[in-house]
Structures are given as C-alpha cells and as structure tokens.
Amino acid sequence: MKIFCIGRNYSDHIRELSNEKPSAPVVFMKPPSALLVQNKPFYIPDFSSEIHHELELVIKICKNGKRIEPAFASRYFKEIALGIDFTARDLQSELKKKGLPWELAKAFDKSAPLSDFIPLAPFKDGAIHFRLDKNGQTVQSGNHREMIYSFEELIVFISQYFTLQMGDMIFTGTPAGVGPVKIGDCLEAYIEDRKMMDFDIK
C-alpha cells in the first residue's frame, strides 16, 4: 500500500507559507508506518518543537491502473476520508533551505492520522466541506472545489509515474490555517457535519 501526499494544492495555503504556485502537482509519499488510526493519540516526537497540523481530504484507490486517462480517472476512487499530514515544520524548513528531501519532516512514524472511509457518492455533486477544530475552535476549513488539482487530475498525474493499486491513498493537500499542536490539544475533524476524527495530542 502506498500513501501519496500532495503539497501546495490550495492557493490560500500556498500564500500562508509564501510558496510558489506549482506548475505540476507536488507529490511526496509516506510509508504505511505513518498511519495512525482509530482516534489513537498522537505523541509529539522529540526531534521537533514545531509540529503543524495539515487537514486533508483523502481518497482511496479502488482498482489498479497505470497511465490513467482523464476520462476514466473518476472510476478509480469511491470513498473519502480525512487525514492529517503532520509536519515537523522546523525540520522541513531546514531541509527545504538545503534543497533536501522532506521525508524526515513528513513521513515519520504516526505522522498520518486517518479517519474511516465513507462513500463519496452522496457528496459528489456539491463541494465537500471539511474542517478541523482544535480545542473546540475551527482552525482550518475548506472544500474540495478549492483544490488547484482535482482528485481526477491527481490520479492522472500520479499514475504516469506510479502504478496505482487498490488500497493506495492520496492525501490531497491542505487549505490555509495550518498551525502548531502542543501536548494537551484535542483535534476534531469533520466532513460537512459528520465527525470523522477526534483525538488527543500527548
């Protein structure tokens, strides 16, 4: 199982980090050991003093494919979840400055809390609104229509380089509002009014 993540897929988040708008999707990966499921607590790792939450819509690939044509891309996912792309922002800034890969800052153990998947069909025609509350206050909100690259475009792009396999996931990027978490925080994530995740930072 592969976990793809997309960087810089919402304009308002690109602005808040003063990044450039990408001319193609920014793709990186996390290993399966990054997953944190069933609302288990997240323990702040000792190698970072600036862990940021990035709330993201996650799609699950439901059939195998490579070099997928745009017209068929929508057939490759049927379910959606919320995930958090925890990022050691202090480490990432150092790595970025040196032009080094981001794995240490992005792909560490349990850096990807993930909710259960739910069917996408009921949401398909509208904008899928999602949000993250930290200690009861909304800190991030967005909807999938604000993405620079759509789910389908991401599938087309990624599948030019990687065979997509059933069970692979794509974390599709974060809207603005990323920020630090500290011990004692409680994070709750919603798709529309449905609570998808609720866990503590320890």
Give the integer Cα–Cα distance in Å for 85 and 91.
Answer: 14
Contact 25/63 with Cβ under 8 angstroms? Answer: no
- Minimum Å gap between C-beta 48 and Zn ion is 15
- Minimum Å gap between C-beta 122 and Zn ion is 25
Closest C-alpha to 162, from 51, 50, 61, 22: 61
- Minimum Å gap between C-beta 69 and Zn ion is 27
Our CB check for Zn ion shows the closer of 115 and 174 to be 174
Contact 149/39 with Cβ under 8 angstroms? Answer: no
Q: Residue 174 carries which DSSP code?
A: -
Our CB check for Zn ion shows the closer of 27 and 186 to be 27
Our CB check for Zn ion shows the closer of 17 and 62 to be 17
- Minimum Å gap between C-beta 42 and Zn ion is 15
Longest dimension (CA), the chain: 46
Closest C-alpha to 84, from 132, 127, 118: 132
Our CB check for Zn ion shows the closer of 52 and 65 to be 52
Count other C-beta atoms under 10 Å from residue 169's C-beta: 24
Give the integer Cα–Cα distance in Å for 131 and 119.
Answer: 18
Point out which residues bind Zn ion (CB under 5 A): 54, 85, 174
- Minimum Å gap between C-beta 7 and Zn ion is 6
> Which residue sits closest to Zn ion, CB atoms considered?
85
Our CB check for Zn ion shows the closer of 53 and 60 to be 53
